[in-house]
Structure 1
Amino acid sequence: MEKKQVSNYMTHDVVSVEASQTVGDVIRLIKTTGHDGFPVVRGGRVVGYISARDIIGEHPEIRADQRMTRHAITATPTTTVTEVARRIFRTGIQKLPIVDSAMQLKGIISNMDVIRSQIERVTPEKVFNFQRALKTLYGVGSTLKREAVPVSAVHPTQSAVHQDELEGRMYELQ
């Protein structure tokens, strides 16, 4: 089975914070973007990560690089999604900056991107196995519901579909 790489799921257009920006700047970015944290860069190189938690109660004039988490956990575009999932699970973080070998910011991947990559791998057999496991282990029953979903309500989860993948997932189109 082909290992899915971060490059297929990461967001390429990343909002970042310059190390010299202030806590006040970060607060404004949180309000305008809805994001709760940002890679901190100096000259395009990732030097840390700053989140809302890092700046709670801080004076707005304090520099971002004074409150950021240093040594941000990162990944590269060729890192597998499985490895990123491990890093997220072990650390409890929600987003990883994606960098090249020179630590230049290339993108970001979130825990939701990782979940999305796993949803794409779901088959009817896996669903039935999961149902059985819930019942056996926890005594929890579940019901499957099959219904039509309007195409307008479907959101793409990947940027491209390859012919061999489409053939392998024909059951979804029936």
Structure 2
Amino acid sequence: MTCVENIMSREIMTVSPLDSVRKAADMMNDLKIGCFPVVDGGRLVGIITSRDVRYSHPNRLVIDAMSKDLVTVTPSCSIWEAAETMERHGIERLVVTENGNLLGIVTKLQVYHELGKHIDPLTGLNRAEYLYHTADKLIRNNTAVTIIFIDLDGFGEIDKEHGHIVGDEVLRRVGLVIKAHTEENLDYPCRYAGDEFAVVTVRPADTAKEYALQIVNAIANNNWHDRMKITASAGVINWRPLMNNDCDIRKLINTASLASTRAKKKGVPVVTVDCQDG
């Protein structure tokens, strides 16, 4: 999973709490840097930003102008968690620390630039790594989740008969169908790979099969190019807190994928399995 340590700036310039604001401002201008961690005796004690500098007299000390309530993350923090933290606190950068040691700084620009790489350009959906992040976060918070794995039926034949341009248009419109059936803070869709899609949802488990069926039916009933018949099969797996304390996210998603294959073989639109069924 893409973490902060993969994108953070490691070459860190620092200032002392007893330096003047003027010195910090001059260093920011010279180095084209928007902030400096403030370090005292090797210990991180604050951060001074260009905003702090603008609202402080240049003769004041850094200790009087710096922000002392630091928002920090560890190097293993995912880029999605970093973005959420920045938005929640309304800040433009995060200090990266581990065991009290200053390791780097990551900016909002760096985080969102990296996030952009994890969006599928054809469908506009997040890629598979986002699914792993979201499912893992929800499960760690003991939130009941359902994973719906959606696989188009016979998609290879569509490419062969109609060409890849038409095939890409089908995938794009499937993405739109899935988006149209997701609600904010309930459903988290992604294009998993190729003609495979997936949704992590926190809808009640007893409605999950019906929800998956709505998506599959919407795909089948779409007004497709040249009256093509596009269908999909879905596998559904529910996870509840205390069901499995050693939950393996990849195994969970793989089980949902196998359930979609089972649906194809049975000729039914949706197959649901329990987490304990494997």
| Shorter-chain TM-score range | 0.5 to 0.7
CA distance in 2, matches of 1:45, 1:66: 17
Larger radius of gyration between Structure 1 and Structure 2: 2
Which residue is 1:58 aligned to?
A: 56
Partners of 1:46 and 1:99 within 8 A in 2: no
Structure-2 residue corresponding to 1:11: 9
Q: Does the 8 Å contact 1:40/1:47 carry over to 2?
A: yes
**TM-score w.r.t. length of structure 2:** 0.43
Aligned to 1:110: 107
| Greater fraction strand | 2
Give SS of 2:46's match: strand
What's the % identity of the aligned pairs?
26
TM-score for the superposition, normalised by structure 1: 0.67
**SS where residue 122 of structure 2 aligns?**
helix
* CA distance in 2 between partners of 1:101 and 1:33 (Å): 28
Q: What do residues 32-81 of structure 1 show as CA deviations (whole Å, max 9, x unaligned)?
A: 01122221111232211111221225332211011111121011111111
Matches within 5 A, 1:21-170: 21-102=19-100, 104-127=101-124, 128=172
CA distance, structure 1, for counterparts of residue 108 and residue 55 of structure 2 = 27
One-letter amino acid of the counterpart of residue 82, structure 2:
V
CA separation in 2, counterparts of 1:29 and 1:83?
Answer: 30
The CA RMSD over aligned residues, in Å, is 2.1
Once residues 123 and 13 of structure 2 are traced to their aligned partners in structure 1, the CA distance between those partners, rounded to angstroms, is 37
Between the aligned partners of 1:110 and 1:21, the Cα distance in structure 2 is: 24
Give the distance between the partners of 1:90 and 1:68, measured in 2 at CA. Answer: 20
Secondary structure of 2:111's partner?
helix
CA distance in 1, matches of 2:42, 2:9: 16
Higher relative contact order (CA 8 A, sep 6+): 1
**Cα shift at 1:5:** 1.1
Equivalent residue for 1:158?
A: none
Answer with 117-126 or 34-43: which moved more.
117-126
State the SS of the aligned residue for 1:70. Answer: coil
Deviation track 1:133-155 (CA, whole Å, cap 9, x = no partner) reads: 9xx9xxxxxxxxxxxxxxxxxxx
Please give the alpha-carbon distance, in whole angstroms, between the structure 2 residues aligned to 1:58 and 1:9. Answer: 31
The structure 1 segments of at least 4 consecutive aligned residues displaced by more than 4 Å after TM superposition are: none
Aligned length: 130
Structure-2 separation of matches of 1:110 and 1:29: 18
| Runs of 5+ consecutive residues of structure 2 not aligned to the other structure | 125-171, 181-278
Residue 5 of structure 2 aligns to which amino acid in structure 1? S
Distance 2:55 2:84 in 1: 32
Give, in whole Å, the separation in 2 of the partners of 1:19 and 1:58: 14
Q: What are structure 1's unaligned runs of at least 5 residues?
A: 137-174
Q: Helix, strand or coil for the counterpart of 1:79?
A: coil
**Structure 1 residues 126 and 46 mapped into 2: Cα distance closer, same or farther (>3 Å)?**
farther
Shift, 1:18, TM fit: 1.6
Q: Is the 8 A contact 1:11 1:108 kept in 2?
A: yes
